[in-house]
Amino acid sequence: MILQLVIWLLAVAGASMLITHGRRRRIWSVLILLSLVIFSIFLSYQVDTQHHQFIHPWLSYDNLKAHFNISADISLQYLFTHLFVLLLGLIYLNTISFDEKHSLNFNTVLLLGFSCLAFAASSQDFVQLIFSSSMLSILCFYIPDIDLPKKKLFSVLFFAEMSM
């Protein structure tokens, strides 16, 4: 379930990056929202009681073994279904807001951020946790438009990664 969620989010985010950002940003945002609603219906039937894993070895050295692991037990699957509903609400509110001039860009950052959150939640080793945390901090850097919150957010996220 988590693997399908991550692949779908990355595919929708990748497709929305290919769209020219112009006058029809609301139509594309509505199409993103509709595709996520259709996927959420599919996702609601996919929550099961089994523990599925997708493991791809990144590094296989004698002293360092890093694996790309996307897996979730039943409690994490239910958590992600609830967080996915929250993501749908955020994209909906972002789409209907008339003050937001870059709704398609922000929706893409939300989708990528949610996939990074899935990588962090299903990590089994330190390398994947640091990778997902770094990707999330890079994505969060692009959210605010003003420079001062960007600097504060980046310094706080950098401090959190270094303390981890």
Per-residue pLDDT in tens (0 to 9) along the chain, 164 residues: 778 888 888 888 888 888 766 667 778 888 889 999 988 888 777 666 556 677 777 777 777 778 888 887 778 888 888 888 899 999 999 888 877 777 788 888 889 989 998 888 888 888 888 888 888 888 877 776 677 777 777 777 777 777 76
**Residue 161: enclosing H or E segment and its boundaries?**
helix 147-163
Name the pTM for this structure.
0.80
Of 70, 71, 5, 12, nearest in space to 40 by CA: 5
Q: Give the pLDDT score at 20.
A: 67
The secondary structure of residue 122, as a DSSP letter, is T
Of 14, 8, 91, nearest in space to 46 by CA: 8
- Cα 124 to chain centroid, rounded: 18
Q: Helices then strands (H, E): number in the chain? A: 6, 2
Q: Give the pLDDT score at 1.
A: 72
**Ranges of H-type helices in 97-146:** 103-121, 126-141
Q: Give the pLDDT score at 87.
A: 92
Q: Give the pLDDT score at 138.
A: 81
136 in Cβ contact with 119 (< 8 Å): no
Q: Give the pLDDT score at 34.
A: 92
Tokens of 54: 């997708």
